[in-house]
Amino acid sequence: MTKSSPKLTLDRLLQSQGFGTRKWCRSLIADGEVKVNGEVVTDYRASVDPAGLSFELFGEVWPYREHVYIALNKPANFECSRKPSHHPGVLTLLSEQCAWRDVQPVGRLDHDTTGLLLMSDDGAFIHAQTSPRRHVPKIYLATTQEPVTQALISELLAGVQLHDEPAPLRALVCRKVGDYQCEIVLEQGKYHQVKRMLAAAGNHCSFLQRTAIGGLTLDELGLAEGEWCYLDQRHLELLAVGLTTR
Ligand code: URA
């Protein structure tokens, strides 16, 4: 994201990047901990152009990011809600900076579901990604309690009627990958959709992992469970692979 941005005072710039309160950022600057273009700057009122800027804090180089786009390989037993009640929240897996930036999960995975979860502090991005009009394939690997049969696959592909849904929901793709495992590709993101679809088709999901969103796969990101990374422009473009809006 390198579009030109208005100039900022150095304290505001640091604050915008999640380094704490303005007061705290001013004290870091006064203490000589911040370098811009290789020079220590001790005046918090110094005006900086954030576009393409890298600055140093405690000797570490940071690129300016107007917004952050994050992929987390979510482990089980973490909640996506803003106010987690039974398990720690997924935000606790990110850096303190992300919390200061008010990073939020993009949609939800159940507390016991693992895999690819997007997170961001860009409200417009979160809104666009979670719009019900946005249909992008989401790929899940489901482990089942009963064997995966051809009848199960055919039923999920044909569509199953879920309680409270006006019409049957079907998998875009469903294929057996093991005696008790199938890959299910969905376009929608209804509440507990994979688990409810499997239950409606007479099976039970005992373990669920999201392996990809659009063309962005966990494999490509190479994240171990609990690890996260910033997404670059190429990753963001991959998120739209297979996208339709209606
Ligand atoms: N479907 C589910 O049932 N659970 C998830 O976490 C995601 C999709």
pLDDT per residue as tens digits for the range 188-211: 889 999 999 999 999 999 999 999
Under the banding of pLDDT at 50, 70 and 90, the label for residue 132 is: confident
Pick the catalytic residue: 110, 121, 122, 164? 110
Residue 182, C-beta contacts closer than 8 angstroms, at least 6 positions apart: 141, 142, 144, 148, 152, 153, 156, 174, 175, 176
Distance (Å) from CA 67 to ligand 1 centroid = 27
Reference 61, options 84, 37, 81, 82; nearest CA is: 37
pLDDT per residue as tens digits for the range 168-182: 999 999 999 999 999
Q: Which atom of ligand 1 is nearest to the CA of 196?
A: 3
Give phi and psi for 197, each to the nearest 5: -65, -45
CATH topology agreement for domains 8-63 and 69-133+215-239: no
Which residues, judged by CB distance below 6 Å to any ligand atom, belong to the binding site of ligand 1?
Answer: 109-110, 113, 192-195, 208
pLDDT at 154: 98
Q: Which CATH superfamily is domain 137-213 in?
A: Alpha-L RNA-binding motif (3.30.70.1560)
Domain boundaries, the chain: 8-63, 69-133+215-239, 137-213
Distance (Å) from CA 140 to ligand 1 centroid = 8
Q: Which CATH superfamily is domain 8-63 in?
A: RNA-binding S4 domain (3.10.290.10)
Q: Is the pLDDT of residue 5 over 70?
A: no
Q: What is the DSSP letter of 132?
A: T
What's the rounded mean pLDDT across residues 43-57?
94
Q: Is the pLDDT of residue 24 over 90?
A: yes
Under the banding of pLDDT at 50, 70 and 90, the label for residue 22 is: very high
What's the rounded mean pLDDT across residues 95-111?
95
pLDDT at 3: 55
Which amino acid is residue 4, in one-letter code? S
Q: Is the pLDDT of residue 245 over 80?
A: no
pLDDT per residue as tens digits for the range 135-144: 899 999 999 9
- The residues with which 144 forms a beta bridge, in sequence order, are 205
pLDDT at 2: 47
Q: Is the pLDDT of residue 1 over 60?
A: no
69-133+215-239 is a CATH 3.90.550.10 domain: no
pLDDT per residue as tens digits for the range 180-193: 999 999 998 899 99
